[in-house]
Structure 1
Amino acid sequence: MTTHENILIGSDTSASLAAILKSLQTMNQYSFITATRVSDIVQLSKSIQPALIILSFRDNQNVINSLLSYSRDFSIPMLCLRTRNQHRELQIRDNLVVFTQSFEYGMQSNNLVTNILGILKLIKKTERVSSSKTVLSKGKSSIDQNKDLTRYTLELDQKKAVLDKIKERIKQLYADVDASTKTQLMAIVNTIKMTRNDRKHWDDFKHYFENVNPEFLKKLSAKFPCLTAKDLKYCCYLKMNMSNEDIRLILGINQESVRTHKYRLKKKMVLEKHQDLRNYLQAFAS
């Protein structure tokens, strides 16, 4: 008999709860437990130890504070769904893993399912890494650093997806507006392109990555000085054991480009045909 993992869903409106459950109906491998009161969320999180808590309250911050009030070591990852009317920024403790997503965007197509599966997959990866290796750096444990890296990577992926949807919508509108408006729309598209490829994203990612994998980039660059910045990004993602689909989404390329880049990297690093690039990088500088 297969044991299903539990996902706890909390919302203070029945309409939101029903919409969330409907959007998750394809996730048959998980059991969903629902709650409408904050006190029930706290009790259920203790008793069932869910793999993930999904919150869609008018005040998600209040629920998070209540969960933390009963345990300083609370570590269950959470996904907070925010409506377009919620502008308050969440105040999150450093060692807590909290993802955020637009409620409206999540209810479109298969977006919420994709996000949840991505969170669960990345969380499991970091737990596997942390169980085999403990690294302390600047007062943070390996698991905390991996969670930071997981959270940053996924949120960057979400941001890029939203920007791409906005860009496509602008292109659809372009043909039906006057010249002045076209100029303004193109300025917005160009801004999106610059934001999507902002170097700060890479710098932030590198900061988290190097805390978890010290010396990896330094030693890799020293051994293979021909590697470009894009090559190094790709190597980092393989070091994290990201799938080809994860890498495709993060870099904004197609599957064929992922395979081509992998082939070119093997040539640059002079690896034998039988050597697996992913396995090589995961063992490198460990």
Structure 2
Amino acid sequence: MQATVLIADDSIQNLEILQKYLDNAVFEYEIFEANNGEEACEIAENEVVDLILLDWEMPVMKGIDALRRLKAQEKTKTIPIIMVTGRAESEDLKEAFDAGATDYVEKPVREKELQARVESAIKLYKAMSLIKEQNIEIEKQKEMIESQANRELSVKAMESYQKNQMLETIYAELGKVSKMTEGEANKKLQKVLRLIKESLAFEDEWKNFVTHFEKVHPSFFRTLKSQCPQLTTEDLKHCAYIRIYLSNKEIAQLLNITPKSVITHHHRIKKKMALSDELKFADYIRSLGE
């Protein structure tokens, strides 16, 4: 295991002893040195450091003050810090741990104890860092999968819209033909017209969409209905289309209304759900069921 250790102590002798002990360890450590807390903070903020050995009593800035500063900085707050101190009182140790210390080593420092505590702290730090990286990667993968699924849902919704647009056109054209026919032919055309008109109903298409939607966002409708049971099917359609990032224009096309009507409907849903005016409706809807 290779790691970088920052040692902060105002005593040259103590620095030499601590470095010697780490040089004798099984693992290989790259060492940075600082003579006070402020210098230690500057090094930690500008270098990659895996662990800090921090003396309590130092000039310019005490170790305990440096500890608080390091734990307050985004870049350094997760670095494990071992306090090296002659203070063994429980109040002092509590103060150090409350400030964010990982561990402490009592002076005079024992070589094997130092090596064991440093090794343990670094292993834990690296393991936690790896888990954090893996979690970030998992979240990225989840976002990619959800984004792809939302795109597929959008395609299905648009396909439904195009299908119904086509049927509307056929219906209109057959309507013209029916006016020019007589007798049995006209009856057959009327039957075809009825069948096509019935197929224009959105209910089956909506049910099909919901089936696919709930595979991607299984708790969305349940959460929405639990918060506002009075939402209608039309309201749920609007919310679902918002959840998959369709624009107002795209929603208008799907529901055969104007974009202005979409905005008006969203205001009505927001009022029905008793949401505050400051809350962005689309952002809120997209946060549900995550």
TM-score range, shorter chain: 0.3 to 0.5
Q: Which one has a bigger Cα radius of gyration?
A: 2
TM-score by length of 2: 0.46
TM-score by length of 1: 0.46
The answer to which structure has the higher helix fraction is 2
